[in-house]
């Protein structure tokens, strides 16, 4: 197990390096520099500026410097928010995003698994068809479409929940963003759970349990749930990526001051270092989530040999 | 089946639909700014805040969205098939290395790289096609490789090898045509993904630029006018969701029909 963990951690390093390198060299290949947008600068001043940001060094040197900074948790200065470093900006936005993202994941797992299991237990019943039809719809409606519709219904027409902003940070401000982020994931997880649950319920060991006269609830919770959840566990990696990507638009729509909004603002303002910092940060997060999922999977599934 | 018909008629509709309206996609109707849908003023879906006809814009947006979907899918097909078939057919160490590369790329958060690309290199539609196509070939490569592995042991491939046909010719003439069935299924699943990515970019303001539009851009505009003019959101959102739904449904159905395990 320890060896497997070590190998997986080492395996994640090239992925991260490629990600960082791609982001870094793309920025350098792009036409225009960070100081182009402003008034024409005196050549001496521009040279000074370039020297301050180490832009006058050869590329490999700059890359090494950036990597070195990353290892120490330093993403460099922001070009737009002159008084802040990118690290500071990320640290102000991330806690907010984390709350919404985690909330969405928890909601998605709880609802998705229970609804999916319900559909599997009543396979081919009306409940089953309703759940499946709803989840197909849920998958097909992107969350940036779902979010405004939810606002329209719950904030504009019914007036139950605030339309946006964090307010004083109370739960009711988070409900709509979390729900719109979670809905497509609920749909996806429900489908996955249903499929694997049906398969597990057909397997011999469940038949044995039934033959022994165990109550259905006990069969379901004690025996069927764990093997049925394996595909869900492996889906958690992509789900994390989807939730993170989704939160970029969701934060934009609801005006939540999270990391995703910094990202979009940075992208529109061409704040290169900020955008790149967020990409690298998210990338590390996603690669790390995938790693955790793989480890959890190896730990849960007796059939996976972690050689 | 119904999905196929809906998708088909959607495609026909977005192509011929604009001819049934008196307006062009960038025409500003100053006397009808942001009016609700109705027949009397000829704006079937109403107009946006700039007085542009939403019916025509929704259909033009649909053209762009579907075009991006198809072109980017073709790009990803071209890369995916040639990569997967080569890896699968050559086998051995080449295969191992090629698939390791796919594994590494798989773990990258591509959505963010595409956004980076759009930020650094400006927003033009050609770049969108290529960028989205270039990120979507990984699944295709894996599937194609798997199929190729089983195909290359078949008699007709052996026969071709025995006759001394060169490797590229075998790939082109014997392997690729036999892959098309499986590939067709995944095409129907790739197109909605691509449309979704494009809408996502457009929604963030990084996709198609004004006065041209796509469903994502229309949804974004609609979302901003949500309280005063909900129709600006509802029409493009419905078109987008319906299209995605049908493609997904179609792809799922086809995949289940081909997968003996699910029957």
Q: Does the CB of A269 have a partner CB in chain B at under 8 Å?
A: no
Has residue A105 been placed in a domain? yes
What are the phi and psi torsion angles at A77 (to 5°)?
Answer: -80, 155
Q: Are A278 and A263 in contact (CB under 8 A)?
A: yes
Protein fold of B2-11+53-262: MetI-like fold (1.10.3720)
Least confident stretch, A133-142, A198-207, B19-28, B199-208 = B19-28
Has residue B253 got a pLDDT over 70?
yes
Convert the pLDDT of each residue in B165-178 to its tens digit: 787 788 777 777 77
Dist CA A119 CA A113 (whole Å): 10
Least confident stretch, A78-87, A146-155, A171-180, B41-50 = B41-50
CATH at residue A173: 1.10.3720.10
> CA-CA distances (angstroms) from residue B205 to A219, B87, B115?
51, 38, 10
Report chain B residues whose CB lies below 8 A from the CB of A23.
113, 116
The closest alpha carbon to B98, from B76, B110, B82, belongs to: B82
Of A26, A249, A290, the CB nearest to B117: A26
Distance from CA of B167 to the nearest CA of A (A): 32
- Taking an 8 Å cut-off on Cβ atoms, the answer to whether A142 and B104 are in contact is no
Dist CA A245 CA B113 (whole Å): 12
Nearest CA in chain B to A240: B109
Q: Does the CB of B222 have a partner CB in chain A at under 8 Å?
A: yes
Read off the pLDDT of each residue in B67-75 and give the average, rounded to a whole number: 83
Has residue B261 got a pLDDT over 60?
no
Convert the pLDDT of each residue in A210-232 to its tens digit: 888 888 777 777 778 878 888 88
Looking at every residue in chain B, the average pLDDT score rounds to: 75
Has residue A49 been placed in a domain? no
Residue B218: which pLDDT band, with cuts at 50, 70 and 90?
confident
B/e letters for B216-232, b = 16+ CB within 10 Å, e = fewer, are bbbbbbbbbbbeebbbb
pLDDT value of position A261? 79
Question: Is the whole-model pTM more than 0.80?
Answer: no
The full set of domain ranges for chain B reads 2-11+53-262
Distance from CA of A12 to the nearest CA of B (A): 8
- Taking an 8 Å cut-off on Cβ atoms, the answer to whether B109 and A279 are in contact is yes
Assess whether the previous peptide bond of B211 is cis (omega < 30° from 0): yes
**What pairs with residue B53 in β-bridges?**
B47
pLDDT value of position B263? 40
Better pLDDT: A184 or A174: A184
Has residue A264 been placed in a domain? yes
pLDDT value of position B62? 77
Read off the pLDDT of each residue in A118-146 and give the average, rounded to a whole number: 82
pLDDT value of position A307? 46
Has residue A84 been placed in a domain? no
Has residue A120 been placed in a domain? yes
Domain of residue A125: give its range: 101-268
Q: Mind giving me the DSSP string for A91-138?
A: HHHHHHHHHHHHHHHHHHHHHHHHHHHHHHHTTTSHHHHHHHHHHHHH
Of B107, B226, B241, the CB nearest to A15: B107
Read off the pLDDT of each residue in B42-61 and give the average, rounded to a whole number: 70
Better pLDDT: A36 or A183: A183
- Taking an 8 Å cut-off on Cβ atoms, the answer to whether A26 and B118 are in contact is no
- Taking an 8 Å cut-off on Cβ atoms, the answer to whether B120 and A15 are in contact is no
Dist CA B160 CA B148 (whole Å): 15
Dist CA B114 CA B13 (whole Å): 30
Of B115, B223, B241, the CB nearest to A267: B115
Better pLDDT: B50 or A259: A259
ipTM: 0.70
Distance from CA of B108 to the nearest CA of A (A): 7
Q: Helix (H, G, I), strand (E, B), or coil: what is residue A65? A: helix
Distance from CA of B263 to the nearest CA of A (A): 12
Looking at every residue in chain A, the average pLDDT score rounds to: 78
- The percentage of residues in chain A with a pLDDT greater than 70, rounded to a whole number, is 85
Tell me which long-range contacts B106-109 makes (C-beta under 8 A, separation of at least 24): B106/B138, B107/A12, B107/A15, B107/A286, B107/A287, B107/A290, B108/A15, B108/A18, B108/A19, B108/A22, B108/A283, B109/A19, B109/A241, B109/A244, B109/A245, B109/A279, B109/A282, B109/A283, B109/A286
Has residue A258 been placed in a domain? yes
Q: Are B241 and B219 in contact (CB under 8 A)?
A: no
Q: Does the CB of A150 have a partner CB in chain B at under 8 Å?
A: no
Dist CA B167 CA B128 (whole Å): 33
Domain count, chain A: 1
What are the phi and psi torsion angles at B47 (to 5°)?
Answer: -130, 165
Read off the pLDDT of each residue in B67-88 and give the average, rounded to a whole number: 84
A82 secondary structure, DSSP code = T
Better pLDDT: B31 or A111: A111
pLDDT value of position B262? 45
């Amino acid at each position: 197990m320890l060896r497997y963990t070590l190998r997986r951690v080492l395996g994640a390093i090239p992925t991260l390096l490629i990600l960082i390198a791609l982001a870094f060299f793309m920025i350098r290949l792009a036409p225009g520099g960070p100081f182009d947008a402003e008034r024409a600068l005196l050549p001496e001043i521009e040279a000074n500026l370039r020297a301050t940001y180490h832009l006058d060094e050869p590329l490999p040197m700059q890359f090494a410097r950036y990597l070195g900074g990353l290892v120490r948790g330093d993403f460099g200065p922001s070009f737009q928010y002159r008084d802040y470093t990118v690290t500071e900006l990320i640290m102000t936005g991330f806690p907010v995003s984390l709350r919404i993202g985690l909330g969405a994941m928890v909601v998605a797992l709880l609802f998705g698994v229970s609804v999916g299991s319900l559909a599997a237990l009543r396979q081919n019943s009306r409940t089953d068809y309703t759940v499946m039809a709803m989840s197909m719809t849920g998958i097909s409606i992107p969350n940036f479409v779902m979010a405004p519709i939810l606002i329209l219904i719950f904030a504009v027409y019914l007036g139950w929940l605030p339309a946006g902003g964090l307010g004083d940070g109370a739960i009711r401000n988070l409900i709509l963003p979390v729900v719109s982020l979670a809905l497509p994931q609920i749909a996806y997880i429900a489908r996955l759970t249903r499929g694997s649950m049906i398969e597990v319920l057909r397997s011999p060991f469940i038949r044995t349990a039934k033959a022994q006269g165990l109550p259905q609830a006990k069969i379901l919770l004690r025996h069927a749930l764990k093997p049925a959840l394996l595909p869900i566990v492996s889906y958690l990696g992509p789900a994390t990526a989807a939730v993170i990507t989704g939160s970029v638009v969701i934060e934009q729509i609801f005006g939540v001051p999270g990391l995703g909004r910094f990202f979009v603002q940075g992208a529109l303002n061409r704040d290169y270092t900020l955008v790149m910092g967020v990409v690298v940060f998210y990338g590390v997060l996603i690669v790390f989530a995938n790693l955790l999922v793989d480890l959890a999977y190896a730990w849960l599934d007796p059939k996976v040999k972690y050689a | 089946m119904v999905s196929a018909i809906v998708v088909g008629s959607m495609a026909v509709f977005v192509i011929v639909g604009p001819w049934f309206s008196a307006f062009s996609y960038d025409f500003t109707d100053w006397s009808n700014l942001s009016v609700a849908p109705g027949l009397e003023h000829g704006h079937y879906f109403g107009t946006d805040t700039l007085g542009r006809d939403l019916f025509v814009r929704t259909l033009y947006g649909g053209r762009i969205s579907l075009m991006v979907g198809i072109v980017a899918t073709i790009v990803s097909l071209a890369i995916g098939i040639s990569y997967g078939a080569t890896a699968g057919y050559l086998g051995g160490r080449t295969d191992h290395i090629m698939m390791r590369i796919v594994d590494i790329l798989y773990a990258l958060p591509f959505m963010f790289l595409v956004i980076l690309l759009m930020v650094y290199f400006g927003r033009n539609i050609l770049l969108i096609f290529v960028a989205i196509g270039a990120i979507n070939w990984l699944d295709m490569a894996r599937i194609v490789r798997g199929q190729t592995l089983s195909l290359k042991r078949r008699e007709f491939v052996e026969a071709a090898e025995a006759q001394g046909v060169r490797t590229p010719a075998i790939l082109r003439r014997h392997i690729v045509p036999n892959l098309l069935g499986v590939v067709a299924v995944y095409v129907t699943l790739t197109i909605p993904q691509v449309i979704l990515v494009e809408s996502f970019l457009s929604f963030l303001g990084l996709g198609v630029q004004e006065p041209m539009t796509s469903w994502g851009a229309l949804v974004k505009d609609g979302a901003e006018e949500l309280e005063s003019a909900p129709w600006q959101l509802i029409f493009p959102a419905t078109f987008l969701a319906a299209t995605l739904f049908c493609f997904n449904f179609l792809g799922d159905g086809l995949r289940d029909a081909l997968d003996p395990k699910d029957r």
